Amino acid sequence: MKPAHQGSTRPLLTLVIPTRNEAGNVPELAERLSGALSGLDYRIVFIDDSSDETPEVIEELRRRDPRIRLIHRDEAEQRGGLSTAVIAGMELAESEYTCVMDADLQHPPEKVGEMLKVAQSSGADVVVASRYARGGGYAGLASPARRIISRGSRLLAKLVFSEARKTTDPLTGFFLVRTRAISGLQFRPTGFKVLLEILVCAPDLKVREIPFRFQPRRSGTSKATLRQGLEYLSHILSLFWYVPSAGRFWKFAMVGSSGVVVNMAVLISLVELAGADKTVAWMLAVGASIMSNFLLNNAFTWRDVRNASRIHFLMRGALSYPVAILALGANFAVYYPLKDAGHLFPTTMADYAYIPAALLGILAATAVNFTLNSQLVFRQ
């Protein structure tokens, strides 16, 4: 078979397919792709870490179809596992679009054309094939345990990263990207879930999704292990720490909690060690914690937002005081009417309404404070 267009023009699509012991699946995969994508200018890159005859099987397919390329990795490279295989494949793509999918036919090859069409018609940078979108399915996740882990991991990603909420399935291994949209990205080897890595590292990407039914594995066995579960957790942590914009709200909440410690430390030392007046000590303690919060938010939470000058930095710091006072106002506005709302609770707890009222007040203050800090104090 001849490729639709040969020569120096950019191909339309590259399929990046990681393989590890998939000899029983790749012939059917290649055939179904060729049927589903007939007439389109595509390439397939297999990134192979197999110890069985998969490379020979792919080599045989390649002889008949020059659109197929095989990268068989050496032992050292293989240690990087699935994610580095996917990343290596994506780095080779010279086409307009790149699609990542599994080799075991759990990702229906017939969906690729639809993903491409959505990308072309919507101008999206990323098209996700989602097991969790309406019309999709995850019956192919073999055991109930895998399903629970999949749901739990997805929930965690969405809770920590707002960018993961752009799709119902940020952990899917089946997605298509506009190659240029991610060409500047520096993938880290810890980037275990490649789609999540892309979404978090490039927060401005336009994302669309289509549903698909995750099929049972055709042949061979899953390579999912407990170690991969742990790698996933360390991936989440690494994204959180090393990508400045990632998980901003949680960074802000961490800084806020440290402010409580600063507040108490200053208050207690002024009163106990310096014999200060308790009201004055309280004011100084509040002032100190607002300042430490600002400094930490500047150095950590919004460290990617540059201060144009020293004056700019000082103005931001000064602005964080009225913002903190507004947040305090929001806290009070929630606390005051709710503190006596005993009728909302069972009679035995009626006298304690002030406690949940205070907690809700803190929540309101945090929300107001975070919003004003992102929109005003640390506006780019």
Alpha carbon distance 38, 30 (integer Å): 12
DSSP letters for 116-135: HHHHHHH--SEEEEESSSTT
Query: Whats the size of the chain, residue-wise?
Result: 380
- Per DSSP bridges, beta strands 13-19 and 42-48 are parallel
Provide the total of helices (H) and of strands (E) in the chain, helices listed first.
Answer: 12, 7
What are the backbone dihedrals phi and psi of residue 280, each rounded to the nearest 5 degrees, phi first? -60, -45
SS3 call for 146: helix
- The reply on whether position 170 binds ligand GDD by CB under 6 A is no
Residue 20 interacts with, from ligand GDD, Mn ion, none (CB under 5-8 Å by kind)? ligand GDD
CB of residue 152 vs ligand GDD: minimum separation in angstroms?
12
Alpha carbon distance 144, 141 (integer Å): 8
Contact pick of 11, 109, 173, 256 for ligand GDD (by CB under 6 A): 173
- The reply on whether position 197 binds ligand GDD by CB under 6 A is no
C-beta nearest to ligand GDD: residue: 173
- The reply on whether position 224 binds ligand GDD by CB under 6 A is yes
Tell me, residue by residue from 69 to 108, as one string, x for binding to Mn ion by CB under 5 A and - for no binding.
-----------------------------------x-x--
Tell me, residue by residue from 339 to 378, as one string, x for binding to ligand GDD by CB under 6 A and - for no binding.
----------------------------------------
- The reply on whether position 115 binds ligand GDD by CB under 6 A is no
Residue 156's Cα: distance from chain center in Å? Answer: 10
Tell me, residue by residue from 103 to 122, as one string, x for binding to Mn ion by CB under 5 A and - for no binding.
-x-x----------------
Residue 82 interacts with, from Mn ion, ligand GDD, none (CB under 5-8 Å by kind)? ligand GDD
Counting residues that bind Mn ion (by CB under 5 A) gives: 2
Query: Which strands form 126-130's sheet, in the order they lie side by side?
Result: 68-72, 42-48, 13-19, 97-100, 175-178, 126-130, 207-211
CB of residue 34 vs ligand GDD: minimum separation in angstroms?
18
- The reply on whether position 98 binds ligand GDD by CB under 6 A is no
Stretches 79-87, 200-208, 293-301, 339-347: which one binds ligand GDD (CB under 6 A)?
79-87
Q: Which two tokens stand for residue 179?
A: 């190659």
213: exposed, middle or buried (C-beta count within 10 Å: 0-12, 13-18, 19+)? middle
Stretches 12-20, 200-208, 246-254, 363-371: which one binds ligand GDD (CB under 6 A)?
12-20
Alpha carbon distance 90, 229 (integer Å): 23
Of the two residues 194 and 377, which places its CB atom closer to ligand GDD in the complex?
Answer: 194
Q: Which two tokens stand for residue 342?
A: 């005993």
Q: Which two tokens stand for residue 316?
A: 């931001």
- The reply on whether position 47 binds ligand GDD by CB under 6 A is yes
- Per DSSP bridges, beta strands 126-130 and 97-100 are unpaired
Q: Which two tokens stand for residue 235?
A: 């991936």
Instruction: Give residues 13-42 in contact with ligand GDD (rule: CB under 6 A).
Output: 18-20, 22
E-assigned strand segments in 212-309: none
Instruction: Give residues 122-141 in contact with ligand GDD (rule: CB under 6 A).
Output: 141
Contact pick of 85, 127, 129, 157 for ligand GDD (by CB under 6 A): 85
| Pair 334, 357: CB distance under 8 Å | yes
CB of residue 81 vs ligand GDD: minimum separation in angstroms?
4
Give the interface with ligand GDD as residue ranges (CB under 6 A).
18-20, 22, 47-49, 81-82, 85, 102-104, 106, 141, 150, 171, 173, 222-224
Residues that bind Mn ion in the complex, under the rule CB under 5 A: 104, 106
